[in-house]
Amino acid sequence: MKIGFIGLGKMGAAIAENILRAGHDVTVWNRSPEPVAALEKNGACAAKTPADALQGDALFTMLASDAAMRAVGLDGAALEGAKKGLIHSNLATISVEFARELAAAHAARGLHYVASPVFGRPDAAANGHLIVVAAGASAHIETLRPIYDAIGRRLAIAGDQPEAANLFKIAGNFMIASALETLGEAIALLRKGGVDPALFHEVLTSTLFAGPVYQGYGGMIVHRKYEPAGFELKLGLKDVELARSAAQGLGMTMPLADLVREHFLDAIDDGLGEKDWSAIAGVIAKRAGLE
C-alpha cells in the first residue's frame, strides 16, 4: 500500500519504521527534519508539506494532541487536496469531541476516518507489539488490517463510530495513571515505615499484581528512575484531562481523576513535566516528607 505518515516522535518513528519493513511505500512528514532523514535512509520518501502525505491509499498520524493536529491542518486545510477515498488512521490519543469533528471533516471531503489509538511505550512500538484499538467503518478497518498487523500484536475493534476508540484509550490511560498513583502511595508508605520497597515490588508483581504496568512502572518508582521518559508526564496530564472532560460530557464525575490531576500539576510545578509520567511518585514521596 501507499502510506503517508505524519508525526515522527518516539512512537511515530518506530511505527513508521515497522510499516516500511512490512514492504509498504511510505511518505513521511514531521516538523523537525532529523527523524525524516533517518527514515529516508531506510527507504521512506520525504514529504515537503503535510498535504503531500495525503496522496496515497492511507494516512497514519501520531501527533501529541488535538491542538497539534489542528496546527497541521488535519481538521480542514490539509484535507482539501487529499486523494479522494483516502483512509486516515489516527493513532494518537485525542478528545472524544475532536474525534467526532475529524470524522465529519473527512466525510465532507470524500475521505474516510478511522480512530486507532495504541497502547504501548516506544519499545513496544519498535518491536511491533502495540495494542491497536480501532473504530470506524468495518470495511476501512479491514483495508488497514495488514498495517495494524505490522505494528501491533492485537487489534481490538471498539465500534463503528471513531470516538468509541478514543473513549476506550482515554479510559485505559486513566487506569494507568491511577495505577501510578497507587504505586506511588504504596511505595512511599513502605519507605516511610522502613520496609524494603524492592522486595514488596518483586513479591506483589510476581503474584497478585502481575502485569507490565505494575512491573515496569513499579520498578521505576522503587528505583526513582524517571528517565528516559517513555511517556512524558505532561502528556499524562493531558490524558487525565481528557478523561475528566469525557466524564463531564457524559454527566458523571471521576473523583480519582481529580486527585491524579492535582498530583500531575504539582509534578509539573516541580519541573517534572518532561520526565516519565511515573514521576508522579516523586510528588507523593515529597508530600510524605521523603524528598
Give me the active site residues, please: 169
Task: List beta partners, residue 27.
Answer: 4, 45
User: How many whole angstroms separate alpha carbon 87 and alpha carbon 233?
Assistant: 31
Q: What secondary structure letter does DSSP report for 213?
A: I
Which residue in the block uniquely carries the three cell numbers 488490517? 145
Question: What Rg do the C-alpha atoms of the chain give, in angstroms?
Answer: 20
Under 8 Å CB-to-CB from 230, ≥6 apart: which residues?
A: 10, 121, 122, 123, 276
CA distances from 186 to 204, 276, 287 (A): 11, 19, 13
Other CB atoms within a 10 A radius of the CB of residue 34 amount to 10
Can you tell me whether residue 25 is helix, strand or coil?
Answer: strand
